[in-house]
Amino acid sequence: MLTYVSLAVGCAGLGILLTVVLLAVCQYFRIDLAQNLWLISLPIVLTIALNIWFIELYDRIKKK
């Protein structure tokens, strides 16, 4: 159980990092986030997908 929690916390940290990078890129290229709210969903969706992928990968390695 501790492994799954640590994977979730690691992915949450990665999601925060991705969000900060996204905000920096949007500021650099002067992209208005108020008009492009869909950009905020990218780090969230990517983080959830990575979390699921890491859990599946861990389960496959653990079975062997």
Structural domain harbouring 37? 2-63
Instruction: Please give the tally of structural domains in the chain.
Output: 1
Write down the pLDDT at residue 38: 94
Q: In whole angstroms, what is the distance from residue 59 CA to residue 55 CA?
A: 6
Residue 51 pLDDT > 90: yes
Q: Quote the CA–CA distance of 7 and 10 in Å, as a whole number.
A: 5
Q: pTM value?
A: 0.83
The confidence score (pLDDT) of residue 63 equals: 87
Which token pair is 63? Answer: 């079975």
Question: How confident is the model over 3-36, as pLDDT tens digits?
Answer: 899 999 999 999 999 999 999 999 999 999 999 9
